[in-house]
A and B are shown apart, each in its own frame.
Chain A
Amino acid sequence: KQEVTQIPAALSVPEGENLVLNCSFTDSAIYNLQWFRQDPGKGLTSLLLIQSSQREQTSGRLNASLDKSSGRSTLYIAASQPGDSATYLCAGLYNTDKLIFGTGTRLQVFP
């Protein structure tokens, strides 16, 4: 069964810290992995997408990596800000053409 897991479920850090969010997937036959941000009561905003042939993608202070052999992806947030507070979800695309979502990590960055 294809499953995506995110640990921890919640994280609270002071402003300015560099942090890493983790995403694990059980099936390494992944086509790509996408990271989303979700603000309370809102929909998802796509942040980064890593193809299976790629190792990482960067956008501003965000860097996402993908290691298929170990079944892991990480989202690195540099110099965190209170505006980064949100829930972050990862989702893997498999040959069923359906995204398998993780349960998310709720991040709080306090001033």
Chain B
Amino acid sequence: DGGITQSPKYLFRKEGQNVTLSCEQNLNHDAMYWYRQDPGQGLRLIYYSQIVNDFQKGDIAEGYSVSREKKESFPLTVTSAQKNPTAFYLCALEGAWNQPQHFGDGTRLSIL
């Protein structure tokens, strides 16, 4: 989706390191979401934000943190407390029906 950009495409984390995944949008949408996708499992919600300077935990927020200082940006930090961070991370924006509908191309995080 041209309006939502995730970077980097691939990311490697060393033991004990925090890493930050970027999600930027130029569609002027209020709500943004972070999902984690593991092989053989459905997407699981990590955090979501419906407005600047406000965000809520999803189903699997432990070991993750977010910020929403600007409407255009919703970065996700995978902290060292997340013991199994290897996964495909997807950022999403709300669509016409006020639910996650537009997805970025994802960031694949692996452990060194």
Interface residues of A (CB under 8 A from B): 4, 9, 32, 34, 36, 41-46, 49, 89, 91, 93, 97-104
Contacts and interface: CB of A to CB of B under 8 A. Distances in A.
A41 B106 contact: yes
Contacts of A91: 42-43
B99 A43 contact: no
A103 B41 contact: yes
Contacts of B90: 43-44
B27 to A, nearest CB: 14
Contacts of A46: 95, 101-102
A91 B44 CA distance: 11
A101 B37 CA distance: 10
Interface of B: 1, 6, 40-45, 58-59, 90, 92, 95, 97, 99-106, 108
Contact of A42 (B40, B41, B102, B105): B105
* Interface SS of B by simple majority: loop
* Interface SS of A by simple majority: strand
Contacts of B102: 46
Contacts of B1: 43, 45
Contacts of A102: 42
B40 A103 contact: yes
A41 B41 contact: no
A42 B108 CA distance: 10
A4 B43 CA distance: 11
B45 A98 contact: yes
Given A32-B97, A43-B1, A49-B97, A4 B105 contact: no
Contacts of B45: 98-99
Nearest to B39: A103
Contact of A93 (B92, B99, B103, B108): B99
Of B58, B59, B101, chain A has the most CB atoms within 10 Å of the CB of: B101
